[in-house]
Amino acid sequence: MNILIKSAKIFDKSNKDIHLKTKDILVLNGVISKIADTITPEKNTSVISKKNLCISIGWLDTSVSFGEPGFEERETIANGLKTAAKGGFTDIILNTNTNPIPYTSSTIAFIKNKASQETTSLHPLGALTVNSETVDLAELYDMKNAGAVGFSDYKKATSNSNLLKIALQYAQNFNGLIYSFPLDTKIAGKGIVNEGDVSTSLGLKGIPALAEELQVARDLFILEYTGGKLHIPTISTAGSVKLISDAKKKGLDVSCSVALYNLLYTDSKLTEFDTTYKVLPPLRTKKDKTALINAVKNGTIDFVTTDHTPLDIEQKKIEFDNAAYGTIGLESSFGLLNTIFDTETTVEILTKGRERYGLQKPEIKEGKTACFTLFDEDTQHFISKNTSISTAKNCMFFEEKLKGQVFGILNKDRVKIL
């Protein structure tokens, strides 16, 4: 397939010669053939030309859940990846909350095969422990060979300190990335929202910041002892930011992410008992939100994720105490981040992370494989229940004002233009 992208403003801080400059880009059979001020299209060349067109290397989300296998009614892999493409993502890291839980190489192979024909690339995590029961280590090495990019018991704390120690030690043999969800379940107890003034006024059981920070501190102590690669997903408190910042200064190989909703909202959103805002980690305080935004800016937080979690309507349209945690957000991510940060920073956030997962980072350079996200940086719009293509509709971002709009993606010699 031959494609000519006309008059695109390029966002690529790694290449000062083209960064923020407007160029034509010719792609022949999936490879960047030419980058120039003006290129005349030849026969059999599809031309992409849009007003205010911008381009960057493809975007990555490091925490995405679908339903397949086991919960296809929530979201299939095929439709989930189409939703990701609509959000501008050429790559996603898939979580392990399926049925069966992917703790063997055969399950990893099945998931990768299901996604092989889609425009957006899927990179699965494998479960850290058998059935994510946090008792026995799973087949980490075999899953790595089958294509797993890390090992996670999704949203389940590894309460057994020795298990985490052994996992970090063992995974060093093949450069494996170990996840540890930051929650001390004994401290959290039956809490479901942030512990504070709002939880007290609403009569809801709280999860104190201490429950997260104790686990983070423990994990970092273990990492300092063992070495290895540790990822702490979706931190949510100012205290966690400080702990991870100090660990990085010591030279520990630790990365972390924050969920988009923790950068946007605080627990004040809970006053109407709207279960759409029930997420884990919970929405925290204004102080936490400010610390998280600053940590993204200074690089203490490595990645921002949508933490996209499709759920059945029956799991949300019930009493707040019994509702499931989670929101979807793939389609809204760029437009929301672009309201918090400037567009250059937003694009930098969305393109980070591949190196951590052992994935090759694309380049906007002649002779390189094309992997692009096409977007507009200014258009004001919103996503609604009617315009979202996700099967699930549990989205706290519906009707929020978005700045900037995705036009489509080009990846693996496949194009998806909206």
CA angle 340, 341, 347 (to 5 degrees): 125
pLDDT averaged over the chain?
A: 97
In the 3-class helix/strand/coil scheme, how is the chain assigned residue by residue? CEEEEEEEEEECCCCCCCCCCEEEEEEECCEEEEEECCCCCCCCEEEECCCCCEEEECEEEEEECCCCCCCCCCCCHHHHHHHHHHCCEEEEEECCCCCCCCCCHHHHHHHHHHCCCCCCEEEECECCEHHHCCCCECCHHHHHHHCCCCECCCCCCCCCHHHHHHHHHHHHHHCCEEECCCCCHHHHCCCCEECCHHHHHHCCCEECHHHHHHHHHHHHHHHHHHCCEEEECCCCCHHHHHHHHHHHHCCCCEEEEEEHHHHHCCHHHHHHCCHHHCCCCCCCCHHHHHHHHHHHHHCCCCEEECCECCCCHHHCCCCHHHCCCCECCCCCHHHHHHHHCCHHHHHHHHHCCCHHHCCCCCCCCCCCECEEEEEEEEEEECCCCCCCCCCCCCCCCCCCCEEEEEEEEEECCEEEEC
With cut-offs at 50, 70 and 90, classify the pLDDT of residue 73: very high
With cut-offs at 50, 70 and 90, classify the pLDDT of residue 356: very high
Q: What is the reported pLDDT for 417?
A: 85
**pLDDT single digits (tens) 269-302:** 999 999 999 999 999 999 999 999 999 999 999 9
**pLDDT single digits (tens) 402-417:** 999 999 999 988 999 8
Longest dimension (CA), the chain: 68
Q: What is the reported pLDDT for 413?
A: 87
Q: What is the reported pLDDT for 1?
A: 78
Q: What are phi and psi of 291, to 5 degrees?
A: -65, -40
- CB atoms under 10 Å from CB of 96, counted, come to 27
**pLDDT single digits (tens) 131-169:** 999 999 999 999 999 999 999 999 999 999 999 999 999
**pLDDT single digits (tens) 100-114:** 999 999 999 999 999
Q: What is the reported pLDDT for 370?
A: 97
Q: How far is residue 216's CA from residue 222's CA, in Å, rounded to a whole number?
A: 10
User: The pTM is what?
Assistant: 0.97
Q: How far is residue 130's CA from residue 128's CA, in Å, rounded to a whole number?
A: 7
Q: What are phi and psi of 353, to 5 degrees?
A: 120, -20
Among 24, 153, 288, 307, the one annotated catalytic: 307
Q: Active-site residue 307, yes or no?
A: yes
Q: What is the reported pLDDT for 217?
A: 98
Asked if residue 185 lies in contact with residue 155, where contact means CB atoms within 8 angstroms, the answer is no
Q: In which residue are the tokens 């009493």 written?
A: 319
Q: What is the reported pLDDT for 203?
A: 97
Please tell me the least confidently modeled range out of 38-42, 333-337, 341-345. 38-42
**Domains annotated on the chain, with CATH:** 2-55+364-388+398-417 (2.30.40.10), 59-354 (3.20.20.140)
With cut-offs at 50, 70 and 90, classify the pLDDT of residue 418: confident
